[in-house]
A and B are shown apart, each in its own frame.
Chain A
Amino acid sequence: MFASLQQRFTAWALGRQQYHEGTVTFNQRSIYIVPTPRGIAFAGVLALMLLGDINYVLSLGYVLTFLLATMAVMSMLHTFRNMVKLEIHAGRAAPVFAGDSAEFQFHFNNPGTLARYGLHLRDQKGHHTSFDIAAGGHAEIKLLIPSERRGWLAPGGLTVYTEFPLGLFYCWSYLHFDTRALVYPKPAESAQLPPSAAPSGTGSVSAAGDEDFAGLRSYAPGDTLQRIAWKALAREQGLQVMQYNAVQGNELWLDLMAAPAADIEHRLAIMTRWILDAEAQGMAYGLRLPGVELPPERGIAHRDECLRAVALFGLEEQ
């Protein structure tokens, strides 16, 4: 019952709220506090103790019971103080492939001379991280939210909460930043690149295999396992990817219509694989989607632009 009430309140409170902009500072108007089930159980324990004190006329029992009771009340102030005046702003979230976890960054700043303990950040689906912030300190908190499908992934309303110090009170506030992570389609397992066409005027036709090893570059998400330079890794040079130069002058067009799959999501998955492979092979490639055409080019920026187009294809928000 407690949980469902809480969910309903959260839905109401978040519905009421505009997106936060810039830095959010928790104050008494944005912080809510209620006793936890454990807190209510503790009140029961105290009531029992009080009955015992009265019945057995235990003066020291009164001292203990009242001390515990007032400590419980004072712990509410401490719980509140643990949250208040925290400053938070949203960081960026790097794009991910569907199925991976998007890493949302939040910068928590603790301006006071008081360390904050036992803070938690949680989204509506229960993804969760907990942390402390030193006095006058700053913490970059990463909340991992697994992505399911391509497009934009918004963390939605987040809850920051704490039960410090005694766990008798649950003190929370909402964060509703307009932050989102781009989710690329999950790349297909493997797909043969479409044949590249020679630009008009030149005669050479490239075939699969006539690539020259061009060097190593550092790993970027999405690179295929086949191209990782394991030997370099063994030499402790970090995760590197082998780069190949395709025969210069070839033009590769990645066309959604040409992707060998029936439904559109599969085609987009194949397109994603193509983009990654083509970039890894150092080819210049262009992207053709209905209504979108990106001329052939190479480089990480171009790759990201292509992936973004694929990720957002057919979705309202472009």
Chain B
Amino acid sequence: MAESRPLSPPLVYGLLLAVLMVSAPHADHLPLWVSAVCVLALAWRGYLARIGLALGNRWLPPVITVGGIIGLLIEFHTLFSQEASVTLLVMLTSLKMLELRTPRDATLAIYLSCFVIITNFFYSQTILTALFMFATLLAIVTTWLHLQSAGMRLKPRLRVAGLLMAQSVPLMLVLFILFPRVQGPLWGMPQDDLSKTGLTDSMSPGSISKLSLSDEIAFRVTFKDAPPLREQMYWRGPVLTEYDGRSWTMAKGPPGRPPQLDNLSAESDYSVMLEPHYKTWLFALEMPVFTSIASFQTNDFQLRRRNIVSTRLQYEVRSQLAFRANAEEEPFQLRQALQLPAGINPRARQLAQEWRKTYPSNDIIMLAALRHFSQQGFTYTLEPPQLGPNAVDDFLFDTRAGFCEHYASSFVFLMRAAGIPARVVTGYQGGQYNALGGYFIVRQSDAHAWAEVWLQGRGWVRVDPTAAVSPARVQSGLAAAVPNNAALPLMARTSSAWLLRLRFNLDLIAYQWNQWVLGYDAAHQLSLLDKLGMADITWGKLALYIMGTLGLLIGVFALLMLRRLYARRISEAQRLYLKFCRRLEKSGLARATHEGPLDFAARATQAWPQHSAAIAEITARYVALRYGGVDERNELPALRRAVGAFKL
């Protein structure tokens, strides 16, 4: 219905700004050439609008678009992965600007911009992202208004756009809270190769020390009761049984029977908010006995779920910190936990054989190994020297400096060489307590590797050889265990107090944001509705609540917005006079719209001569008040009395 008119330069600038704002957050993951193409397209369109030149060359934009798509195909080998389709959408939106001619094109550009905002949420949903989204939306709506009213200046447009957004926020909150959440996904998500930092299903020298350089948060934990001691906080992750002389990997083979725990005590209840790590592990304190979400436990006590963790996940866990695990282990499991590649690390094997001969029991051999680490000048370092093909030998007898993976790896090697079933367990150890929020933050820098040995009658027993070398690592964390000048991430250092407080404050905000905004899912919704007294809610009832609340809010807004337009702008004198007119009208004498008070009074006097005095008084007082400029305070009560007393 809008007539076709060329778009004014300010409107074009507004659209360019909107597209720039929605595309900018994508810059850090777009291929550089795509960013360049987008910026060039926007700049070119802006230049054309500035010099007032029409868009020439109808064939040029399609050629650039086809070229861009071919470029994307070369870059991604597909257009249907998430990464490729987002890149395509961002690129097309910018290129669309080269075809911006009619209001219709402008509308399309605005709709596309809204869509591009959403694609950014694949990558980031932080508070800053949300704030930027509101700013972007303000720019978009301000431009959108321009499309409907070319003559409107920037300031009133900003005001109307701001008002529109501000009014929509409470309505949005109602929908956000009450709109029934369906547990996604509805269809298969394209599995992108998202290289996230985190534990994997293998460990080789250097893999965990590399991880410990990352500040990224792995998960956060809130304990229901008093938290356990830091030395007890072993968050179990991938369990690695197979060794090829260099790398430890997970056991292949049959899953075995379900794990068996007995002699359980020292119960601990807590909830974990796990950041997406695109693997199937769920982290829990050794040993978990209950989880609130669908999960399973493998024979070697790994807590996992069927699907990868691709969104932030919150779950409740109950762990028993004291336990006896698989006291009766299957023989094939024990055989697996004894295997060693032939022909490597002869000195380590020899040492283990000596212990075997010298000491009577497995327990004592274990202690001997730990004593070896603590008394033979071993050091704990983030920057261990290079190791040769006989890595364990080199470490044990030459370099004697390493990180937790070196200790865990060589300890397990020694145990196996001595004939004791053992394996490597990876996970996280400890955590940073945020007193403001009352929860623990576990970062990638808390990644750890320890060992587990199987002893007759006691089952699998955790042994942390790192603790033998550097007790501080386990009791106080990484920063306390390594020299001050080590290249530690900022978050792992415990420096000045105010910096720590600031960090805790920021993390607390992020934690609440994650929990209440990003983590708001079907389960949260149900429990919140339950708290609001809407237990046993049906979809029909929910729809009714939504409609009711929205209707009420919109009604309030309508009232506020239209009140002043509908309010009759009449003075008290007019109101009283109209009351008098209504009385006469009821008795059959209506005042014509064009009739003045004096003419009307004349007619009324004719109709009711007996009331002529009253009619004349009211009319005179009214005329004096309305046109004569007399003081209202003195005259108004008299008019009020006269009208009140008037009866036919």
CA distance A81 to B121 in the complex (A): 35
Given contacts A41-B111, A71-B168, contact A60 B133 (CB under 8 A): yes
Residues from chain B with Cβ under 8 Å of A73 in the complex = 171, 550, 554
Contact indicator A66/B562 (Cβ below 8 Å): no
Q: Does A74 contact B (CB under 8 A)?
A: yes
Closest to A86 in B: B565
CA distance A74 to B550 in the complex (A): 11
Shortest CB-to-CB span from A68 to chain B, Å, is 6
Q: Does A40 contact B (CB under 8 A)?
A: no
Q: Does B129 contact A (CB under 8 A)?
A: yes
Q: Does A230 contact B (CB under 8 A)?
A: no
Contact indicator B137/A67 (Cβ below 8 Å): yes
Closest to B593 in A: A22
**Which one, A158-166, A193-201, A236-244, is touching chain B?**
A158-166
Contact indicator B3/A128 (Cβ below 8 Å): yes
Closest to B187 in A: A55
Q: Does A152 contact B (CB under 8 A)?
A: no
Q: Does A132 contact B (CB under 8 A)?
A: yes
Contact residue among B2, B129, B182, B517 (Cβ-Cβ distance under 8 Å from A167): B2
**Which one, B141-149, B244-252, B280-288, B484-492, is touching chain A?**
B141-149
**Which one, A44-52, A178-186, A276-284, A294-302, is touching chain B?**
A44-52
Given contacts A52-B118, A57-B184, A77-B554, contact A67 B168 (CB under 8 A): yes
Q: Does B586 contact A (CB under 8 A)?
A: no
Q: Does A12 contact B (CB under 8 A)?
A: no
CA distance A55 to B147 in the complex (A): 33
Contact residue among A41, A70, A75, A78 (Cβ-Cβ distance under 8 Å from B175): A70
Q: Does A109 contact B (CB under 8 A)?
A: no
Contact indicator A77/B145 (Cβ below 8 Å): no
Contact indicator B118/A65 (Cβ below 8 Å): yes
Q: Does B644 contact A (CB under 8 A)?
A: no
Closest to A53 in B: B118
B508-532 interface mask toward A, CB cutoff 8 Å, 1 = contact, 0 = none? 0000000001111100000000000
Closest to A59 in B: B518
CA distance A114 to B147 in the complex (A): 20
Residues from chain B with Cβ under 8 Å of A128 in the complex = 3
Q: Does B115 contact A (CB under 8 A)?
A: yes
Contact indicator B137/A165 (Cβ below 8 Å): no
Q: What class of interface size applies to chain B in its complex with A? A: 35 or more
CA distance A284 to B179 in the complex (A): 83
Residues from chain B with Cβ under 8 Å of A13 in the complex = none
**Which one, B159-167, B267-275, B333-341, B436-444, is touching chain A?**
B159-167
Given contacts A55-B186, A58-B121, contact A163 B1 (CB under 8 A): yes
Given contacts A54-B184, A163-B148, contact A63 B3 (CB under 8 A): no
Q: Does A260 contact B (CB under 8 A)?
A: no
CA distance A115 to B160 in the complex (A): 11
Residues from chain B with Cβ under 8 Å of A170 in the complex = 1
Given contacts A62-B176, A84-B562, contact A45 B164 (CB under 8 A): no
Given contacts A55-B189, A60-B133, A166-B148, contact A71 B164 (CB under 8 A): yes
Q: Does B457 contact A (CB under 8 A)?
A: no
Q: Does B63 contact A (CB under 8 A)?
A: no
Contact residue among B149, B561, B566 (Cβ-Cβ distance under 8 Å from A77): B561
Q: Does A117 contact B (CB under 8 A)?
A: yes
Q: Does A85 contact B (CB under 8 A)?
A: yes
B169-190 interface mask toward A, CB cutoff 8 Å, 1 = contact, 0 = none? 1011001100100101111010
Q: Does B130 contact A (CB under 8 A)?
A: yes
Q: Does A38 contact B (CB under 8 A)?
A: yes
Within 8 A of A (CB), among B524-577: 550, 554, 557-558, 561-562, 564-566, 569
Q: Does A24 contact B (CB under 8 A)?
A: no
Q: Does B43 contact A (CB under 8 A)?
A: no
Residues from chain B with Cβ under 8 Å of A166 in the complex = 141, 144-145, 148, 164
Shortest CB-to-CB span from B561 to chain A, Å, is 5
Shortest CB-to-CB span from A228 to chain B, Å, is 35
Residues from chain B with Cβ under 8 Å of A49 in the complex = 114-115, 118
Q: Does A219 contact B (CB under 8 A)?
A: no
Q: What class of interface size applies to chain A in its complex with B? A: 35 or more
Contact indicator B152/A36 (Cβ below 8 Å): no
Contact indicator B517/A59 (Cβ below 8 Å): yes
Q: Does A61 contact B (CB under 8 A)?
A: yes
Contact residue among B151, B160, B161, B521 (Cβ-Cβ distance under 8 Å from A132): B151
For the complex, would chain B's binding face be called helix, strand, loop or mixed by DSSP majority?
A: helix
Residues from chain A with Cβ under 8 Å of B114 in the complex = 45, 49, 64, 68
Closest to B569 in A: A111
Q: Does A314 contact B (CB under 8 A)?
A: no
Shortest CB-to-CB span from A262 to chain B, Å, is 43
CA distance A51 to B156 in the complex (A): 34
Residues from chain A with Cβ under 8 Å of B561 in the complex = 77-78, 81
Closest to B151 in A: A132
Q: Does A69 contact B (CB under 8 A)?
A: yes
CA distance A164 to B554 in the complex (A): 18
Contact indicator A74/B164 (Cβ below 8 Å): yes
B79-123 interface mask toward A, CB cutoff 8 Å, 1 = contact, 0 = none? 000000000000000000000000000010001001101100110
Q: Does B476 contact A (CB under 8 A)?
A: no
Q: Does B125 contact A (CB under 8 A)?
A: yes
Closest to A52 in B: B118
Contact residue among A58, A67, A117 (Cβ-Cβ distance under 8 Å from B122): A58
Q: Does B311 contact A (CB under 8 A)?
A: yes
Contact indicator B149/A74 (Cβ below 8 Å): no
A219-239 interface mask toward B, CB cutoff 8 Å, 1 = contact, 0 = none? 000000000000000000000
Given contacts A41-B111, A62-B179, A78-B160, contact A117 B121 (CB under 8 A): no
Shortest CB-to-CB span from B127 to chain A, Å, is 10
Residues from chain A with Cβ under 8 Å of B569 in the complex = 111
Shortest CB-to-CB span from B316 to chain A, Å, is 19
Within 8 A of A (CB), among B402-448: none
Residues from chain B with Cβ under 8 Å of A59 in the complex = 125, 517-520
Shortest CB-to-CB span from A85 to chain B, Å, is 4
CA distance A36 to B104 in the complex (A): 13
CA distance A75 to B168 in the complex (A): 10
CA distance A81 to B3 in the complex (A): 23
Contact indicator A61/B171 (Cβ below 8 Å): no
CA distance A170 to B3 in the complex (A): 14
Q: Does A113 contact B (CB under 8 A)?
A: yes
| With A58-B125, A66-B172, A71-B164 already in contact, 9 other A-B pairs whose C-beta atoms are closer than 8 Å | A63-B130, A63-B172, A64-B133, A74-B164, A77-B558, A78-B164, A117-B148, A165-B148, A167-B2
Interfacial residues, chain A to chain B (CB-CB below 8 A): 22, 36, 38, 41-42, 45, 48-49, 51-71, 73-75, 77-78, 81, 84-85, 111-115, 117-118, 128, 132, 161, 163-167, 170
Could you pull out 10 A-B pairs where Cβ atoms are within 8 angstroms? A56-B121, A56-B189, A63-B172, A64-B117, A70-B172, A73-B171, A117-B149, A128-B3, A132-B152, A166-B141
Closest 3 CB pairs of A and B: A70-B171, A118-B149, A117-B149
